[in-house]
Amino acid sequence: MKSKIENRLNYWYLLLITGIMFILLSIWVFFTPLTSFLALAWVISFGFVIGGISEIAYSVSNRKNLKNWGWYLTGGIITLILGLHLSLLPGVTGLVLCYYIGFWLLFRSIMEITNSIDLKKYHVKNWGWVLTFGILGVITSLILLWNPIITSVAIIYWIGMGLLMFGMVQIVLAFGLRKIKNKIEDIREDFD
């Protein structure tokens, strides 16, 4: 009688197919960055719409239990309106996304610079690396805010790299499972 693990090994090729699909998707992202970025902007807009609807439903259904339920309702309405607005103007969504990432990176980099100063006060040896990366982060964020097109291209290529890496991991895992399956079958044959 086969164990659950052995049954899973029988379907190792599904991971191979998944890996190949993700690699093909990554190739599509690399060769169609504008289309990929617009698709990402659409997904974000859709997420805002769903998030707004969910928050409205949450606030209304919990209005008797939440002291400040009106704030949740207001936040949900604003999120829904923003999502609808962004879904009608996907180019604006991409621009908003670029500025969001640029400001987020600027804020985080400034925090790292102040953290490096605190590390220096406590005589931590590697405080200079934190300071260096914080300064590089500030410079990068200013470039991203100055030219949002760089941000959009960077986002797409990072997504493409992530998809490519995930696909490769799935393929390696699939062949690893196949090898384990073959070893188990060889052992079983030796005992038969």
Average pLDDT of the segment spanning 33-45: 82
- pLDDT at site 133: 93
> Is residue 2, in this structure, part of any structural domain at all?
no
Dig out the tokens for 102 from the structure: 């640029």
> Is residue 1, in this structure, part of any structural domain at all?
no
Average pLDDT of the segment spanning 62-86: 85
Rounded to the nearest 5 percent, the helix, strand and coil shares of the chain are: 90, 0, 10
Confidence (pTM): 0.62
> Is residue 121, in this structure, part of any structural domain at all?
yes
pLDDT digits (tens, 9 = 90+) for 160-185: 898 899 899 889 888 888 888 888 88
Sequence-separated contacts (24+) of 20-24 with Cβ below 8 Å: 20/167, 20/171, 21/167, 22/163, 22/164, 22/166, 22/167, 22/170, 23/163, 23/164, 23/167, 23/168, 23/171, 24/167
> Is residue 73, in this structure, part of any structural domain at all?
yes
- State the Cα–Cα distance between residues 110 and 106, nearest whole angstrom: 6
- pLDDT at site 43: 83
Average pLDDT of the segment spanning 84-107: 79
> Is residue 75, in this structure, part of any structural domain at all?
yes
Higher pLDDT, 9 or 15: 15
> Is residue 8, in this structure, part of any structural domain at all?
no
> Is residue 113, in this structure, part of any structural domain at all?
yes
Residue numbers of the domain that contains 124: 13-191
> Is residue 7, in this structure, part of any structural domain at all?
no
Count up the domains in the chain and report the number. 1
